[in-house]
Amino acid sequence: MGLEAKLTQDGFITTTIDAIVAWARKSSVWPMPMGISCCAIEMISAADPKYDIARFGSEVMRFTPRQCDLMIVAGTVTYKMAQVVRRIYDQMPDPKWVIAMGACTSSGGMYRSYNVVQGIDQFLPVDVYTAGCPPRPENLLNALMTIQDKISKTRARDFQDILPQKLEVETR
């Protein structure tokens, strides 16, 4: 492989901090599986051996937001659930990314109704929208690769000024 050949030749390689940090970040994007309805089934399929999200370094689905970089919002978000989704998003450490998976999440989908948020970009900064109802696992993997492209273009100092967010403490 390329890397080992370089190391045996000279014993060192030259690169930039930005490049190597971005490469490390994009190769281990840990998702927060925000599986709210049927899209979650396709998200689970993407993790199984047939589609194997581990090829992209994203097999570590953590059910705690504290260890996650990427939130996959998979399913219909109601106004009541929006508060919960936002709370979990706020607990994820920076830098973080969001995939809006499926028609409901992106635009309300077939639920053109009073109780469903017509697109989660009303309260979350979305990086990639995924079409489909539900999207096939390949489509989710494509969204993940798009996120990886986006991450590889970031520089380490893009995130240095982000301060910890103030969490509103609910006393109930």
Partner 1 sequence: MDNKELIIQKLKENFSDSIVEISDFRDDLSITIKPNVIFDVAKFLKENDELLFVMCKDVTAIDWATRKNRFTVVYHIYSFKLNFNLRLKSNLEAEPYQIESVTSIWQSANWYERETYDMYGIEFLNHPDLRRMYMPEGFEYHPLRKDFPVLGIPGSLPLPQKPE
Residues annotated in the binding site, as ranges?
Answer: 38-39, 104, 133
Options 62, 86, 136, 150; binder of partner 1; rule CB under 8 A? 86
Among 61, 82, 88, 156, the residue binding partner 1 under the rule CB under 8 A is 82
Q: Which is nearer to partner 1, 55 or 87 (CB)?
A: 87
DSSP lists the bridge partners of residue 97 as 70
Extract the tokens encoding 7. 């190391």
Distance set, CA 25 to CA 17, 34, 46, 76 (Å): 12, 21, 20, 29
> Residue 141, interface with partner 1 (CB under 8 A)?
no
Answer yes or no whether residue 165 interacts with partner 1 by CB under 8 A. yes
**Type of residue numbered 167:** L
Return d(Cα 47, Cα 142) in angstroms, integer: 14
Residue 172 as a binder of partner 1 (CB under 8 A): the answer is: no
- By the rule CB under 8 A, 67 interacts with partner 1: no
**Count of C-beta atoms within a 10 Å radius of residue 57:** 16
Mark residues 111-140: x for contact with partner 1 by CB under 8 A, - for none: -xxxx-x---xxxxx---------------
Closer to partner 1 by CB, 39 or 117: give it. 117
Q: Which residues of 14-38 are buried (b: 16+ CB within 10 A; e: fewer)?
A: eeeeeeebbeebbeebebbbbbbbe
| Interacting residue ranges for partner 1, rule: CB under 8 A | 79-80, 82-83, 86, 112-115, 117, 121-125, 165
